Chains A and B, each alone.
Chain A
Amino acid sequence: MRIVVAEDLFLLRDGMVRLVEAYGHTVVAAVDSGPATLEALLSTRPDAAIVDVRLPPTFSDEGLKAALAARQVIPGLPVLILSQHVEQLYARELLADGHGGVGYQLKDRVLDADQFMDALDRVAGGGTALDPTVVAKLLGRPVRADPLATLTERERSVLALMAEGLSNTAIAGKLFLSEGAISKYTTTIFAKLGLAGDEDTNRRVRAVLTYLDAGAGWA
Chain B
Amino acid sequence: MRVPVGGNPLRWGAEIALGLYRSVVLTLLTVLLPTVAGFVGFGGSLVAYSWTKGSTAPLAVRALASLGETLVIVVWIAAGVWMVHLLTSRQLAQAARRVTRRWLALELEVSYRPVFPVTRMATGYWWDGVEYQKSEREARRRARMQARFHDPQLHWDGLWGVVAGVTVLPVAALPPLAVAGGGYLIAARGLPLPGVAAIVAGLAAAPFAWRVLRPVAVRFLGTTPQSLFGRRVRQLEAIRADQTQAQVAELERIERGLHDGAQARIVAMGMAMQVAERMVDTDPAAAKAILADARATSAAALAELRSLVRGINPPVLAERGLVDAVRALALDAPVEVTVHSEVPSRVERPVESAVYFAVAELLTNVAKHAHATEVRIELVYRSRTLTATVTDNGAGGAAAAAGSGLSGIERRVKAFDGRLLITSPAGGPTHITVAVPCALS
Listed in ascending order, the chain A residues whose CB lies under 8 Å from chain B are 53-54, 59-61, 83-85, 87-89, 92, 107-108, 111, 137, 140-142, 144, 215, 217-219
Chain B residues with CB under 8 Å of A54's CB are: 315, 319
Task: Please state if A217 and B299 are interface contacts (CB–CB under 8 Å).
Answer: no
The answer, yes or no, to whether B295 is at the interface (CB within 8 Å) is yes
Q: How far is the CA of A217 from the CA of B339 in the complex (A)?
A: 7
Q: A87-B316, A111-B295 are in contact. Are A217 and B337 (CB under 8 A)?
A: yes
The answer, yes or no, to whether B342 is at the interface (CB within 8 Å) is no
- CB of B338, distance to nearest CB on chain A (Å): 5
Q: How far is the CA of A105 from the CA of B18 in the complex (A)?
A: 77
Chain B residues with CB under 8 Å of A215's CB are: 331
List 30 A–B pairs whose Cβ atoms lie within 8 Å, in order of A's numbering.
A54-B319, A60-B320, A61-B319, A84-B306, A84-B315, A85-B306, A85-B310, A85-B315, A85-B316, A87-B328, A88-B328, A88-B331, A92-B331, A107-B302, A108-B303, A137-B331, A137-B332, A141-B331, A141-B334, A142-B334, A144-B336, A217-B330, A217-B331, A217-B336, A217-B338, A217-B339, A218-B327, A218-B330, A218-B340, A219-B338
The answer, yes or no, to whether B218 is at the interface (CB within 8 Å) is no
The answer, yes or no, to whether B318 is at the interface (CB within 8 Å) is yes
Chain A residues with CB under 8 Å of B310's CB are: 85
Please encode chain B, from 312 to 332, with 1 for each CB lying within 8 Å of some chain A CB and 0 for all others.
000110111000100110111
- CB of B371, distance to nearest CB on chain A (Å): 13
The answer, yes or no, to whether B309 is at the interface (CB within 8 Å) is yes
The answer, yes or no, to whether B201 is at the interface (CB within 8 Å) is no
Residue of B nearest to A137 (CB): B332
Residue of B nearest to A93 (CB): B324
Q: How far is the CA of A107 from the CA of B315 in the complex (A)?
A: 14
Which of A87, A111, A140, A218 meets B338, CB within 8 Å? A218
Residue of B nearest to A87 (CB): B328
The answer, yes or no, to whether B335 is at the interface (CB within 8 Å) is yes
Residue of B nearest to A83 (CB): B315
- CB of A54, distance to nearest CB on chain B (Å): 7
Task: Please state if A60 and B328 are interface contacts (CB–CB under 8 Å).
Answer: no
Chain B residues with CB under 8 Å of A53's CB are: 319
Q: How far is the CA of A217 from the CA of B321 in the complex (A)?
A: 18
Q: How far is the CA of A217 from the CA of B319 in the complex (A)?
A: 20
Q: A217-B337, A218-B327, A218-B339 are in contact. Are A88 and B315 (CB under 8 A)?
A: no
Chain A residues with CB under 8 Å of B338's CB are: 217-219
Which parts of B187-215 form the interface with A (CB within 8 Å)?
A: none
- CB of B28, distance to nearest CB on chain A (Å): 64
Chain A residues with CB under 8 Å of B332's CB are: 88, 137
Chain A residues with CB under 8 Å of B298's CB are: 111
